[in-house]
Chains A and B, each alone.
Chain A
Amino acid sequence: MKNQLEKIGKDAAEMINSVTSKAELDQARVRFLGKKGELTAVLKMMGKLSAEERPIMGQMANEIRNHIEKTIADAEIKIKEAEMKIKLEKETIDVTMPGKPHKIGHQHPLSIVLDEVKDIFLGMGFDIASGPEVEWDYYNFEALNMAPDHPARDTQDTFYITEKMLLRTQTSPVQIRVMEKQKPPIRIISPGRVYRSDAVDATHSPLFHQIEGLVVDKNITMGDLKGTLEMFAKKLYGDETKIRLRPHHFPFTEPSCEIDVSCFRCGGKGCPMCKGEGFIEILGGGMVHPKVLETCGIDPEEYSGFAFGLGLERLVMFKFNIDDMRLLYENDVRFLEQF
């Protein structure tokens, strides 16, 4: 009997090692472990053994059964792995073929850059304020220290609705509206559409977008204006960016300045983008004119502030190297879908 059992063990190992499919493995299982299998047949003869031999043979038979079962289980894993491998090979596709479209819309380049600017200023603690585009002359000019007949009005060719109502030429009227309602500290930006009577060409448009900022608090100095705008420029164009202030004139700020940033293409060495200057003009600003604060009911002896403004189209054109502003308003999908 011992020989028989050993033979079964040996036969089973041989057969199972040579199977290549699930079916063959099942056959092996039936042959050795099935109800009518070889091992069962041997076990049926256990009764004929002596009391001493029976437990020894019994143990041996169990060991062989366990061994066969384990061998079958291992073989099964191998077969499954092999079958999976074949299946996967059959399923191989050409991954270089185009994807099936699942369209997500594209954001307009003006919005992309506006969002970026808003995020920077939100992070610096500026709320976002808005106001009407069809505005009173008072908010657009008078309250900003530009009385009727002020020569600076000539530099902003204005669309009028009536003598007193106009399309705002700047988003500064929002600053006035905020200052009328809110006591300092004030920290806002006001992005939006503005209108000037300029015929459409590659660099002009009767409608464009401005982003203006205003800070009013105690002890605000021109150093704050510089520090804030430098931080903005660094966040927008990178830590190496420098700013340069040039004195200028705006009726609602005093002192006023134009602000250049070092060219982000060449880093200030001079290139076609900055026309060899190393700097690009992107901002205007200054200390809020004390008369403007006073007009809004804020005491200029107690508070001071700074304001600044930038043109969104200019930023967008620089960022994406767009040479014709008209593209932004033509909205050809072949243009839009590049962003």
Chain B
Amino acid sequence: MNLSKKWLADYVSLNVTDKEFADGMTLSGSKVEGFEAEGSELKNIVVGRIESLERHPDSDHLWVCQVNVGEEENIQIVTGAQNLTVGDYVPVAKHKSVVHGGQKIEKGKLRGVLSNGMLCSVAELGLTVNDFPYAIEDGIFILGEDCDKTPGKDIHEAIGLDDVVTEFEITSNRSDCMCVTGLAREAAATFGSELVIKDPEVKTVGDDVNNYLSVRIENPEKCYRYCGAVVKNVKIEPSPRWLRERLRASGVRPINNIVDITNYVMLEYGQPMHAFDLRYLGGNQVIVRNAKNGEKITTLDGVERQLNENMLVIADANAPVAVAGIMGGEFSGIMDDTTTIVFESACFNGVGVRRTSKALGLRSESSIRYEKELSPEGCLHNIKRALELINILGAGEVVDGIVDCYENKAKKSTVKFDPDWINNFIGINLSADEQKKILEKIEFTVDGDTVTAPYFRNDIEHKADVAEEIARFYGFHNIENRPLSGVANAKLTDYQQFMKKMDFACRASGLDEISTFSFISPKGYDKILLPENSELRKSVVISNPLGEDTSVMRTTPMISMLEVLAKNFKNRNESAALYELATQYVSNGTEELPDENLKICIGMYSNEYDFFVIKGIVEEILGAAGIDDYDIVAETENCSMHPGRTAKLSKNGATFALFGEVHPQVSKNFGISQRVYFAELDMKKLFDMSDKNRQYKPLPKFPAMVRDLAFVCKKSIPVLFLEKAIAKAIGPTLEEITLFDVYTGEQIAQGMKSVAFNIKLRSADRTLTDEEADSSVKKAIEELKKLGVELRS
């Protein structure tokens, strides 16, 4: 909402600077986004009178003018404009001036003739021909009778480009502040000034409105009130300068006197208005009704709109002429030959306007006001104001009487007045009288223990709402700060602690943390080669996504991770080792919220990485979680992963982690021409499995015996299988078994491999003898022999 300082001054007289005004209004609740003097970029432009015009000696289109700019001597300016005559008054951008757009003007020669500046068009002043309807677009702005024609006069003052515009952000609960008088009321209360709003006085010419117009409201739920008035013998012409100026300052384009009046009243009192040409109101009737399914209307913007029975329209005897509260129909508006008009000042239900506006994808200055719920109480006053302006502008003859359909009177909003509760709630100590005084400043009435809000306030429903009014005029900054009292007894939960630990473990493993979007493109599932019938394709789908790229909630964090790796690869980063604590969203249909599972997701690429690097990281993370007893098996079925280089971890048959090399085709699909490694661990499952009650084991008192053993076995036998067999054979004296070599090649038969272990034996209560160690080793050798694994000789 842009507020004109000149306009505001009609209702309240303030003695503050623009900055003080902005700060004061912000602190009392009307947030100022900024303020600017109109035409502030224009510098050193003055009124000039063309004293003579001569052809440029070397040009067939340039003119050499002598211009009186109020100085002792005329100045010479060369112009290419063709619309000048001697005696015209024009804006002159003198030597060292600035015109609209920041362009600097200096003296110079045009085809050898000195020019001491430039004559300006309306555009060069930052204006349009709507602001000065007698001006032309492609020529110099020749000042009309509504301008000050004193040569040398600063252009801002001369043409009335000297207002200050303050931009407000009006919150959705304060529809009453979306107009000049609403902000004037706030300003008066903020700065302790008096608000002066006069009742409009209308002069009529007799006749009777009922001779011209009948109004019927068919849906009083959606149309609370409809006021109609008629003006005849209308003369359509531009509005006077003062009115155009105010519209311009408010950001509204002046059109003609009648349309300008409707906009003026809307800006002044927040009342959207419409003016119909009576010729196009069939049967001279206004019927406020629901649209019929299939009915159509072409709105003023030239678009044909399909209506339905949930939408409210203004219709004549035949068809809709306006979408109620949103926009008029193509033929409803004012034309140059309009002679009799009907003013509409009505009040429509906010939700209805909002829904219709959304359904049609059509918003207007009118609809954004109505949808915040206006009060019907102002309708009559405001239509009178429009008629008063007809009188002031001499724009036509006002017919006697106003049609006013208003059956269900608006109820006044009353709330209990509870000064003690308010003091306690806000943390202040104001007497009931002091509170009452604040409320009366903004036109609330206090009667005993009841507060009644003024009709234009639709946001007062609870005593907390009254407390806010008190607080904002008392000043939020005046409320005493009080640190919270009571015991601070917060603590991270066990699970939160655990997540923190996992987070640290990831970084300690050398991984950088990333943060990715939770939504992905469903095409991501194709890229990771998920089969058509995969459960993972059943995403939570966003019904109104910004784009396909962000249209479904991910069921796996893998896609986001691969996208980030791909971006790094594309940016020529040689390596990346990344992790994310990422949520995946598993749909449970539309009746239940999805499961949101947190995953530790790891992705990496580099020439130096292989399967065992990521396995090592996974093992370290599990170590940090205190998880050491789990099963590991090769995973050959996961379509996104390399079938020969992927493993999954499980405990009691439930899988909790997967890691390995990403399927080369998947990496290629993401544009990464390098091996990529990926791991995914389920946070909740890790937490459930983690050792939460870790106990100390005494340090060994007796020395360990160490033996190295090498076996020859079929290549296909997993190392883990051998380790388990050895452990089983040796029993509790086995402290640790470490693989230190796997060898295939010369001296080893085809299809076989040599596997070498370092075996550490220890007893907790004595030193083992060599014989005991040898005997343990022998048991292991014999056990493996039974399984067809021979000791390597």
Residues on A close to B: CB < 8 A? 103-108, 110-111, 121-128, 132-136, 149, 151-152, 154-155, 159-162, 165, 167, 185, 187, 193, 195, 197, 199, 206-207, 215, 217, 219, 221-224, 226-228, 230-231, 244-249, 251, 254-258, 287, 289-291, 304, 328-334, 336-337
| Chain-A contact segment, one of B116-124, B236-244, B489-497, B643-651 | B489-497
Q: Is the CB of A255 within 8 A of B472?
A: yes
Q: Is the CB of B585 within 8 A of A134?
A: yes
| Total A-B contacts with CB atoms under 8 angstroms apart | 231
* List of 9 A-B pairs having minimum Cβ-Cβ separation, nearest first: A125-B488, A221-B427, A223-B427, A249-B171, A247-B29, A105-B507, A255-B468, A103-B510, A245-B476
Across the interface, A135 reaches (CB within 8 A) one of B371, B484, B486, B593, namely B593
Among A155, A258, A332, chain B packs the most CB atoms within 10 A around the CB of A332
Distance (whole angstroms) from the CB of B118 to the closest CB of chain A: 33
- Collect the chain A residues with CB atoms within 8 Å of residue B517's CB: 206-207, 329
Distance (whole angstroms) from the CB of B464 to the closest CB of chain A: 4
B654 at interface by CB-CB < 8 Å: no
Encoded as 1 (CB less than 8 Å from any A CB) or 0, chain B from 538 to 550 comes to 0011111110001
B482 at interface by CB-CB < 8 Å: yes
Q: A221-B425, A247-B468, A247-B472 are in contact. Are A132 and B477 (CB under 8 A)?
A: no
The binding surface of chain A is classed by DSSP as: mixed
B578 at interface by CB-CB < 8 Å: yes
Report how far A21 CA is from B427 CA in the complex, Å: 87
Q: A105-B508, A134-B593 are in contact. Are A330 and B567 (CB under 8 A)?
A: yes
> Could you tell me which residues of chain B, from 248 to 280, have a CB within 8 Å of some CB in chain A?
none
Distance (whole angstroms) from the CB of A243 to the closest CB of chain B: 8
| Residue contacts A-B, CB under 8 angstroms, 13 given | A106-B512, A106-B513, A108-B514, A111-B513, A152-B172, A221-B424, A247-B468, A254-B462, A289-B462, A328-B515, A331-B568, A332-B567, A333-B512
B596 at interface by CB-CB < 8 Å: yes
Q: Is the CB of B462 within 8 A of A290?
A: yes
| Chain-A contact segment, one of B290-298, B318-326, B350-358, B776-784 | B350-358
- Collect the chain A residues with CB atoms within 8 Å of residue B596's CB: 132-134
Q: A134-B596, A246-B26, A290-B462 are in contact. Are A125 and B490 (CB under 8 A)?
A: yes
Q: Is the CB of B490 within 8 A of A127?
A: yes
Distance (whole angstroms) from the CB of A129 to the closest CB of chain B: 10
Q: Is the CB of A287 within 8 A of B355?
A: no
Distance (whole angstroms) from the CB of A336 to the closest CB of chain B: 4
| Chain-A contact segment, one of B399-407, B569-577, B672-680 | B569-577
- Collect the chain A residues with CB atoms within 8 Å of residue B567's CB: 330-332
Q: Is the CB of A128 within 8 A of B492?
A: yes
Q: Is the CB of B482 within 8 A of A254?
A: no
- Collect the chain A residues with CB atoms within 8 Å of residue B483's CB: 224, 227-228, 231
Q: Is the CB of A249 within 8 A of B173?
A: yes
Report how far A57 CA is from B491 CA in the complex, Å: 83
Report how far A246 CA is from B576 CA in the complex, Å: 46
- Collect the chain A residues with CB atoms within 8 Å of residue B541's CB: 161
- Collect the chain A residues with CB atoms within 8 Å of residue B513's CB: 105-108, 111, 336
- Collect the chain B residues with CB atoms within 8 Å of residue A162's CB: 543, 590
Known contacts A151-B172, A151-B350, A245-B477; 8 further A-B pairs (Cβ under 8 A): A127-B490, A160-B543, A161-B543, A162-B543, A193-B518, A221-B479, A247-B472, A254-B465
- Least CB separation from A254: chain B residue: B464
Question: What total of chain B residues lie within 8 Å of the partner, measured CB to CB?
Answer: 85
Distance (whole angstroms) from the CB of A211 to the closest CB of chain B: 15
Report how far A155 CA is from B173 CA in the complex, Å: 12
B511 at interface by CB-CB < 8 Å: yes
Q: Is the CB of A221 within 8 A of B482?
A: yes
- Collect the chain A residues with CB atoms within 8 Å of residue B491's CB: 122, 127
- Least CB separation from A157: chain B residue: B544
Distance (whole angstroms) from the CB of B266 to the closest CB of chain A: 18
Across the interface, B512 reaches (CB within 8 A) one of A134, A199, A215, A336, namely A336
B53 at interface by CB-CB < 8 Å: no
- Collect the chain B residues with CB atoms within 8 Å of residue A107's CB: 503, 507, 513
B99 at interface by CB-CB < 8 Å: no
- Collect the chain A residues with CB atoms within 8 Å of residue B226's CB: none
Report how far A332 CA is from B512 CA in the complex, Å: 10
B31 at interface by CB-CB < 8 Å: yes
Q: A155-B172, A287-B425 are in contact. Are A246 and B465 (CB under 8 A)?
A: no
Report how far A224 CA is from B483 CA in the complex, Å: 6
B666 at interface by CB-CB < 8 Å: no
Q: Is the CB of A255 within 8 A of B496?
A: no
Q: A105-B506, A207-B518, A222-B425 are in contact. Are A125 and B482 (CB under 8 A)?
A: no
Q: A125-B489, A128-B492, A247-B468 are in contact. Are A105 and B511 (CB under 8 A)?
A: yes
> Could you tell me which residues of chain B, from 163 to 184, have a CB within 8 Å of some CB in chain A?
171-174
Q: A125-B484, A247-B29 are in contact. Are A207 and B519 (CB under 8 A)?
A: yes
Report how far A197 CA is from B465 CA in the complex, Å: 30
- Collect the chain B residues with CB atoms within 8 Å of residue A103's CB: 510, 577
Q: Is the CB of A125 within 8 A of B486?
A: yes
Distance (whole angstroms) from the CB of B609 to the closest CB of chain A: 12
- Collect the chain A residues with CB atoms within 8 Å of residue B594's CB: 132, 134
- Least CB separation from B26: chain A residue: A246
B670 at interface by CB-CB < 8 Å: no
Encoded as 1 (CB less than 8 Å from any A CB) or 0, chain B from 697 to 727 comes to 0000000000000000000000000000000
- Least CB separation from A206: chain B residue: B546
Q: Is the CB of A151 within 8 A of B543?
A: no
Report how far A330 CA is from B512 CA in the complex, Å: 13
Q: Is the CB of A133 within 8 A of B583?
A: yes
Across the interface, A104 reaches (CB within 8 A) one of B482, B490, B503, B510, namely B510
- Least CB separation from B470: chain A residue: A255
Across the interface, B578 reaches (CB within 8 A) one of A135, A219, A255, A331, namely A331
- Collect the chain B residues with CB atoms within 8 Å of residue A289's CB: 462, 464
Report how far A223 CA is from B488 CA in the complex, Å: 18
- Least CB separation from B561: chain A residue: A331
- Collect the chain A residues with CB atoms within 8 Å of residue B579's CB: 105
- Collect the chain A residues with CB atoms within 8 Å of residue B516's CB: 329, 331
Report how far A121 CA is from B490 CA in the complex, Å: 9
- Collect the chain B residues with CB atoms within 8 Å of residue A127's CB: 490-491
Across the interface, B479 reaches (CB within 8 A) one of A134, A152, A195, A226, namely A226
Among A123, A165, A219, A333, chain B packs the most CB atoms within 10 A around the CB of A333
Report how far A47 CA is from B66 CA in the complex, Å: 143
Q: Is the CB of B354 within 8 A of A149?
A: yes
Distance (whole angstroms) from the CB of A108 to the closest CB of chain B: 4
Q: Is the CB of A159 within 8 A of B545?
A: yes
- Collect the chain A residues with CB atoms within 8 Å of residue B578's CB: 331, 333, 336
Q: Is the CB of B27 within 8 A of A247?
A: yes
Report how far A285 CA is from B350 CA in the complex, Å: 27
Q: Is the CB of B462 within 8 A of A110?
A: no
B640 at interface by CB-CB < 8 Å: no
- Least CB separation from A336: chain B residue: B512
- Collect the chain A residues with CB atoms within 8 Å of residue B372's CB: 151
- Collect the chain A residues with CB atoms within 8 Å of residue B518's CB: 133, 193, 195, 207
Q: Is the CB of B26 within 8 A of A206?
A: no
Report how far A223 CA is from B423 CA in the complex, Å: 11
- Collect the chain B residues with CB atoms within 8 Å of residue A106's CB: 507, 512-513
Q: Is the CB of A206 within 8 A of B550?
A: yes
Report how far A244 CA is from B31 CA in the complex, Å: 13
B16 at interface by CB-CB < 8 Å: no
B82 at interface by CB-CB < 8 Å: no
Report how far A161 CA is from B543 CA in the complex, Å: 5
Q: A154-B172, A254-B467 are in contact. Are A247 and B515 (CB under 8 A)?
A: no
Among B27, B355, B511, B517, chain A packs the most CB atoms within 10 A around the CB of B517
Encoded as 1 (CB less than 8 Å from any A CB) or 0, chain B from 350 to 389 comes to 1100110000000000000001110000000000000000
- Collect the chain A residues with CB atoms within 8 Å of residue B350's CB: 149, 151
> Could you tell me which residues of chain B, from 16 to 48, have a CB within 8 Å of some CB in chain A?
26-29, 31
> Could you tell me which residues of chain B, from 399 to 441, have a CB within 8 Å of some CB in chain A?
424-427
Among B496, B507, B515, B585, chain A packs the most CB atoms within 10 A around the CB of B515
- Collect the chain B residues with CB atoms within 8 Å of residue A126's CB: 490
